[in-house]
């Protein structure tokens, strides 16, 4: 079941003119299309994601992930909560919504300071890779505005835009990495058969498509329509995990 309507956020407060997408076509530093999407979504894209388990390391230790079935439930929950929220932010950035407002919206959607720090660190790494891959003034300006890094989904969306990709593409990247990260990590953490881990991802593919579509649709409606789905255990365990003296993954 992935069709539950979400509650639209509050519309109170002053009208946010900066929420309107910037006019004109996205800058095309390269011929955007399917190949550019593969480059951006590739796990080998040097943006530092491999060092993070997306909460899977803590879940394995707590006995919440023990096999392919519990990995699938973990990934599905992450996809529809923090995955959807991040996909919405990335789609909005790909559309050209104000990155300051998006970064602030990301902060408000990330109550864990550990996860805020991780998001900014990954944002910084994503920015370095993106500027090498698709150099453009818009990425330069974003990098200059956030020397400590903007939230990773915001940078990913801006990178997608620089590559000539659209909001659905950016949202797809986020949806995929939301589940790909934990699945890959669990192969290392549990010694799970990589064929089984890949099967988990393949079975989630239709839900990833749907999450990307919902995220992009929300992004087109503007800042106030962005999803805010959250997962209590991911927030709780991220803080606990960061205090472990020895761990395999950074988060």
Partner 1 sequence: MSLRATARIVADAGGGLPLLESDGPLAVRRTRATGPYTRVTVVGAMSAPLGGDRLAIETEVRDGARLLVDSAAATLALPGRGGAPAAYDIRLTVGDRAALRWLPEQLVSARGSDLRMRTTVELAATARLVLREEQILGRHGEETGTLITRLTVRRAGRPLLDQELAYGPGAPGGWDGGAVLSGHRAVGQLLVVDPEFEAKPVASRPLAENAVLTPLSGPAGLVTAVAADALQLRRVLDEALGVLAPA
**Contact between 209 and partner 1 per CB under 8 A:** no
Applying CB under 8 A, which of residues 109, 124, 161, 172 lies at the interface with partner 1?
109
Applying CB under 8 A, which of residues 39, 50, 235, 250 lies at the interface with partner 1?
235
Q: Which is nearer to partner 1, 75 or 90 (CB)?
A: 75
Q: Contact, 109 vs 230, CB < 8 A?
A: yes
Q: Which is nearer to partner 1, 35 or 69 (CB)?
A: 69
Q: Is 28 helix (H, G, I), strand (E, B) or coil?
A: strand
Q: Which is nearer to partner 1, 221 or 240 (CB)?
A: 240
Q: Which is nearer to partner 1, 48 or 227 (CB)?
A: 227
Give me 197's structure tokens: 């881990």
**Contact between 131 and partner 1 per CB under 8 A:** no
Q: Contact, 234 vs 78, CB < 8 A?
A: yes
**What is the x/- site pattern for partner 1, positions 33-72, by CB under 8 A?**
----------------------x---x--x-xx----x-x
Q: What are phi and psi of 163, to 5 degrees?
A: -85, 5
Q: Contact, 56 vs 237, CB < 8 A?
A: no
Q: Which is nearer to partner 1, 27 or 230 (CB)?
A: 230
* Whole-number Å distance between alpha carbons of 151 and 156: 9
**Contact between 15 and partner 1 per CB under 8 A:** no
The dihedral through the CA atoms of 224, 229, 232, 234 has a sign that is: negative
Q: Is 150 helix (H, G, I), strand (E, B) or coil?
A: coil
Q: Contact, 74 vs 182, CB < 8 A?
A: yes
Q: Which is nearer to partner 1, 84 or 130 (CB)?
A: 84
Applying CB under 8 A, which of residues 48, 96, 149, 227 lies at the interface with partner 1?
227
* Whole-number Å distance between alpha carbons of 177 and 184: 10
Q: Which residues pair with 28 in a beta bridge?
A: 163
Residues that bind partner 1 (CB under 8 A): 1-2, 4, 6-7, 9-10, 12-14, 55, 59, 62, 64-65, 70, 72-81, 84, 104-105, 107-114, 116, 207, 227-236, 239-240, 243
């Amino acid at each position: 079941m992935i069709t539950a309507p979400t509650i639209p956020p509050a519309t109170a407060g002053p009208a946010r003119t900066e929420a309107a997408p910037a006019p004109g076509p996205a800058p095309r530093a390269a011929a955007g299309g399917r190949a550019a999407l593969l480059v951006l979504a590739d796990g080998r894209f040097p943006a530092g994601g491999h060092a993070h388990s997306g909460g899977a390391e803590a879940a394995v230790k707590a006995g919440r992930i023990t096999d392919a079935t519990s990995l699938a439930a973990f990934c599905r929950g992450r996809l529809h909560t923090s995955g959807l929220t991040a996909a919405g932010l990335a789609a909005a950035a790909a559309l050209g919504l104000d990155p300051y407002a998006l970064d602030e919206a990301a902060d408000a959607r990330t109550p864990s300071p550990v996860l805020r720090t991780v998001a900014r660190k990954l944002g910084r790494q994503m920015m370095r890779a993106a500027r090498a891959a698709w150099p453009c003034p818009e990425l330069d300006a974003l990098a200059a505005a956030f020397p400590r890094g903007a939230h990773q989904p915001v940078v990913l969306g801006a990178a997608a835009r620089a590559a000539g990709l659209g909001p659905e593409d950016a949202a797809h990247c986020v949806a995929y990495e939301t589940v790909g990260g934990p699945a890959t990590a669990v192969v290392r953490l549990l010694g799970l058969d990589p064929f089984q881990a890949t099967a988990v991802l393949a079975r989630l593919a239709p839900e990833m498509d749907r999450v990307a579509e919902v995220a992009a649709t929300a992004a087109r409606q503007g800042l106030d329509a962005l999803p805010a789905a959250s997962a209590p255990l991911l927030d709780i365990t991220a803080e606990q995990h960061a205090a472990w003296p020895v761990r395999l993954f950074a988060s």
